[in-house]
Amino acid sequence: MNKKGMLLTILGAFLLILAACGSDKEGSKEGTGTDGGDKQSFDVDFLSILTGGTQGTYYPLGGTFADLITTDTGVKTTAEVSQASAANMTALQNGEGEIAFVQTDIAYYATEGTLMFEGQKIDSVVALGALYPETVQLVTLADSGIKSYEDLKGKKVSVGAPGSGTYANAEQLLEIHGLSMSDIQPQNLDFGESADGIQSGQIDAAFITAGYPTGAVEALNATNGVYIIPVSADKAEELIAKYPYYAKDAIPAGTYGLKEEIPAVSVGAMLAVKKDLSEDLVYAITKAIYDNTSKISHAKGEFIKAENGLNGIGIEVHPGAKKYFDEVNN
């Protein structure tokens, strides 16, 4: 082979190597599907799901959702500990995450700019889909002597952080029972701190809004028998008449070792998402979660269904999520 031929051969090999490297780089955002097929390429490399405290329901479910999204879309997704609903809406608005767990009532307040969002309307966040009922659980010890809302007068009660979903639920339930924050000694604790406070005797009771069974309450019941203070049917109806995003609920006998079913009320849990995420990406995220609900091991997984994905949603739905639910339910 002459010198010119050798140069052409070397140049050709070099170009092939460059092409291969370029192909690998382009494919780095795509990955491969669980069936070995290529995944769609998206314009993001990483997604963050804002959840809540480690002893609530959002965090373990968020970890499962992150795995499902990573596996199905190829976009690395992680679940982050946060201050839950109200803080999550603000964090999404500020670009501190892309997806978040939030109560349906809090999402409504945020997008309307009311209550804790007065003057701070959230306009860059929309809904991805509904998840499951979040039960408002008023927790105390079985031997505390507290059996009703009226028994809370003068007691130290954890009501969650000011501006949180739990705080709003506590305030509204106290109101329906003829009480206010001034009738109790309110303590602003998260779920884990509430359980520790009840166990140590530092507080008497705690409002915990989360899907049951809630990790913090289970942990408390493992060392001290717990009691959930009931909401009577007439009080539940009065609450719903004034605040229609509530629904009647019940904590089944056997949960936390309870001997009988406890009547309660709930709001909805949902996923919110940044409005500026692409339609294709949000469609893929929604599909990854709702097509794989059988892989959700948490007890609340049985409530998460595509056919219920838009139930109770009171805010705008992302076009990508709407496209998925329209395809599945029509």
d(CA 113, CA 106): 10
Question: What does residue 49 show for φ and ψ, rounded to 5 degrees?
Answer: -105, 120
Report pLDDT for 2.
52
pLDDT averaged over every residue in the chain:
89
- N-to-C CA span, the chain: 67
pLDDT in tens, 237-280: 999 988 888 889 999 999 999 999 999 999 999 999 999 999 99
pLDDT in tens, 94-108: 999 999 999 999 999
d(CA 296, CA 286): 14
Domain boundaries, given as residue ranges, for the chain: 46-133+269-329, 134-267
Class of domain 134-267: alpha beta
Q: What is the CATH number of domain 46-133+269-329?
A: 3.40.190.10
Helix pair 165-176, 104-112: axis angle to 10 deg? 100
In one-letter notation, the amino acid at residue 119 is: G
Report pLDDT for 1.
53
Say if 46-133+269-329 and 134-267 have the same CATH topology: yes
Question: Which pLDDT band, with edges at 50, 70 and 90, does 26 fall under?
Answer: very low
3-state secondary structure of 271: strand
pLDDT in tens, 162-216: 778 899 999 999 999 999 999 999 999 989 999 999 999 999 999 999 889 998 9
130 has pLDDT over 90: yes
In one-letter notation, the amino acid at residue 231 is: V
Contact 91, 284 (CB under 8 A): no
Contact 152, 179 (CB under 8 A): yes
The β-bridge partners of 75 are none
Report pLDDT for 34.
38
**Among residues of the chain, what percentage have pLDDT more than 90?**
75
Report pLDDT for 19.
46
